[in-house]
Amino acid sequence: MGLFDRHAGLLDAYRDVRTTGADPFQIRMERVLSPTEAIINGKKTLLVGTNNYFGLTFDPSCMEAAIEAIRAEGTGTTGSRIANGSYSEHVALEQEIAEFYGKKHCMVFTTGYQANLGIIATLVGPDDFLLIDADSHASIYDACKQTQAEVVRFKHNDPASLEARLRRIGDKPGNKLVVLEGIYSMLGDSAPLKEFVAVCKKHGAYVLVDEAHSMGALGEHGRGLSEAVGVLDDCHFIVGTFSKTLGAIGGYCVSDDPDFDILRVTTRSYMFTASLPPSIVASVRQALREVKARPELRKQLWDNVATLYDGLAAQGFKLGPEHGPVVGVHLPDRMTAIGFWRAMLDAGIYVNVAVPPATPNGVSLLRCSLCAVHTREQLEHMIEVMTGIGRQMGVLTPKLRVVGGNR
Amino acid sequence: MSDVQNQNGELLLRTAQNMIVENDDIADTLVLRRPPARAEVMAEICRQLEPFQADDGRTITGATVISKDLSIDSLAVMDMVMDLEDQFDVSIPMNVVAEIQTVDELADTILALSARR
């Protein structure tokens, strides 16, 4: 048996995907022009699948901050915070994020994936219990493989399902950590966080919320779902990313726990990887200032969400359950999703295609993510194009004419 | 204390726990059941796995290897396990699920966890 034989099934599925003539997993952006446009296959293409929620990747002040930091401190740190030490800017960034949340401590990671992986796997150990939502991100699932805690899944966004599992643990010794996400990345639905927090309180469980897709988008100050529903003080750990609203790369975790800093010498994904380069730290610090100073970006984002979601729903597309910066469009099967995706690309619109096993419940989706700086014209054009393709492909037949969403 | 039947006709054992009156609206009723019979567990697993039966018409037995003999992916297995957990009021840790290969092993796991309850 060869090393790659075990991937035979996946190779077959991948070959299916490629028969459409384009490989959605190896798209080449020949040139990125702005937060909403790039040249793909020699053609100017509208980007509606890049998680660039506030469009800050081309913000002049963020770009200037990054350039200045490179001139002052060079291109990289060439080592981890533990081995090479921290730059003052790493520490300043951590203080600013902690302040943003009103929490005492913050740890910054080189990616959001590493933040979840390291924090979750390190917080719980032998004899502890880790409870995760069934639709959790891969970084959370991978953390489960790195911990010796007992891991149990509960039904997606179902506080009663979590409660049943906490009840079964009963008075067994061991800490209980519940991991939730503010907004889920595939369908854009948010967690019933207030209800979840009540269940966790009742059963003495710690709460960790991943606000990767909700930071910036939700809450009066953009802190995320925990702020929006008023439970920030009840969330023991908030994890987030710099690679979406903040337009760069990196991750963080904030907490009020007095012993939080011990994680710096126990969390392997923090200790054994190079720290963020000066340019990223500088652009993220500036982006955070922009998020605080320009709440209108949040309003623009949600206006765009409404335009796309309501526009597609009116045409009969079946969508995720509620308005969100991610709009998931359900399609009947994998090949239809890939064909639809390809037709959109040919028409100059880039979205993500999400097919099993990367999706919950085996659904096939076009995953659209909105940007505060998309124009209404861009989105109306997109709805028109999608409606045309949907009709051609028979996806918008009366039988499938389900109006998406009870909001 | 007397035994009561639920709507499916199953005998539920009243225990002290379900006498506790929970006054918040998220409390779930605590009704502990007697450990289920093996036949009951097997029947339920087979019912859940039926949609994933192979085309060759082989019936599902205790020796059926879930990931090999059926057309079911690992995510669907974990989702099925969540349903079984609620049906039999046990939690099967993910690392335990990963070790389970056959229908028999799944049934035995559920029975062992119910007995320990």
pLDDT tens for A311-346 read 999 999 999 999 999 999 999 999 999 999 999 999
- Rounded to 5 degrees, φ, ψ at A133 are -65, 140
Question: Where is pLDDT greater, at A115 or A9?
Answer: A115
Distances in whole angstroms, Cα of residue B54 to Cα of each of A171, B49, B51, B59: 43, 10, 9, 9
Nearest by CB to B26, which of A151, A199, A356? A199
Tens digit of each residue's pLDDT (9 = 90 or more) over A67-88: 999 999 999 999 999 999 999 9
Using pLDDT thresholds of 50, 70 and 90, give the confidence band for residue B4: very low
The helix (run of H) or strand (run of E) holding residue A244 is none
Is the per-residue pLDDT at A29 higher than 70? yes
Chain A hits for B76, CB-CB cut-off 8 Å, are 362
Mean pLDDT over the full length of chain B: 79
Residues of A with a Cβ under 8 Å from any B Cβ are 134, 144, 150-155, 159-161, 163-165, 167-169, 195, 198-199, 202, 356-357, 361-362
Of A151, A199, A357, the CB nearest to B73: A357
Q: Which of A130, A137, A141, A151 to mutate to test the interface with B (most CBs of B within 10 A)?
A: A151
DSSP 3-state assignment of A223? coil
Contacts of A265 by beta carbon, 8 Å cutoff, 6+ apart: A82, A271
Nearest to B91 among A160, A168, A356 (CB): A168
For residues A357-381, average pLDDT: 93
Long-range contacts of A336-341 (CB under 8 A, 24+ apart): A336/A364, A336/A393, A336/A395, A337/A364, A337/A365, A337/A366, A338/A16, A338/A17, A338/A20, A338/A24, A339/A20, A339/A393, A340/A366, A340/A389, A340/A390, A340/A393, A340/A395, A341/A20, A341/A24, A341/A366
Give the pTM: 0.90
Residue range A141-169, pLDDT digits in tens: 999 999 999 999 999 999 999 999 999 99
**pLDDT, mean of residues A203-225:** 98
- Please tell me the number of Cα atoms within 13 Å of B20 on its side-chain side: 11
**Three-state DSSP state, A328:** strand
DSSP A330-343: EESSHHHHHHHHHH
In chain A, residues under CATH classification 3.40.640.10 are 60-293
- The verdict on whether omega for the bond into residue A357 sits within 30 degrees of 0, i.e. cis, is yes
- Minimal Cα–Cα distance from A134 to chain B, Å? 8
**For residue B50, what are the contacts with CB-CB under 8 A and spacing of at least 6?**
B60
CATH of segment(s) A21-50+295-400:
3.90.1150.10
What is the amino acid identity at position A71?
R
Chain B residues inside the 8 Å CB shell of A155:
82
Task: Give, in order, the Cα–Cα distances in Å from B77 to each of A150, A365, B73.
Answer: 18, 21, 6
Provide, as residue numbers in chain A, all residues whose Cβ is less than 8 Å from the Cβ of B73: 356-357, 362
Q: Are A133 and A116 in contact, with CB atoms under 8 Å apart?
A: no
| pLDDT bracket for residue B14 (50, 70, 90) | very low
Query: Residue A402: pLDDT band by 50, 70, 90 thresholds?
Result: low
Compare A64 and B19 and report the one with higher pLDDT: A64
Chain B CB contacts of A163 below 8 Å: 26-28
Helices (H), A107-223: 112-123, 138-146, 159-169, 193-202
CB contact under 8 A, B91 and A161: no
List the single residue in A151, A161, A164 with the smallest CB-CB distance to B93. A151
- Class for domain A60-293, per CATH? alpha beta
3-state secondary structure of A329: strand
**Two tokens at A314?**
């009116």
Closest chain A residue to B116, measured at CA: A168
pLDDT band at A358 (very low <50, low <70, confident <90, very high): confident
Lowest mean per-residue pLDDT among A5-19, A347-361, B10-24, B74-88: B10-24
Beta-carbon pairs below 8 A across chains A and B:
54
User: Do the Cβ atoms of B76 and A362 come within 8 Å?
Assistant: yes
Q: Tell me the domains of chain B and their CATH numbers.
A: 1-34 (no CATH), 35-116 (1.10.1200.10)
Of the partner residues B26, B79, B82, the one whose CB lies closest to the CB of residue A159: B26
Q: How far apart are CA A289 and CA A221, in angstroms?
A: 11
Flag whether residue B95 sits within 8 Å of chain A, measured between CB atoms.
yes
User: According to CATH, where is 3.90.1150.10 located in chain A?
Assistant: 21-50+295-400
pLDDT score, position A404 = 52
Q: Taking Cα atoms as reference points, which of A254, A243, A251, A244 lies closest to residue A269?
A: A251
Least CA distance to A145: which residue of chain B?
B95
CB atoms B93 and A163 under 8 Å: no
Query: What contacts A112, CB < 8 A, 6 or more positions away?
Result: A139, A212, A239, A240, A241, A242, A243, A250, A251
Average pLDDT value for residue range A24-39? 94
pLDDT at residue A403 in the model = 54
ipTM of the complex: 0.85
What tokens were used for A305?
A: 């969400």
- The C-alpha angle A302, A305, A308, rounded to 5 degrees, equals 155
Q: What share of chain B is helix, strand, coil (3-state, %, to 5)?
A: 50, 5, 45
Going by pLDDT thresholds of 50, 70 and 90, the confidence category of residue B9 is very low
- With CB atoms and an 8 Å threshold, state whether A361 touches B94: no
Give the pLDDT confidence score for residue A18 in this predicted structure.
Answer: 79
The answer, yes or no, to whether residue A179 has pLDDT greater than 60, is: yes
pLDDT at A397: 65
Specify the pLDDT at position A322: 97
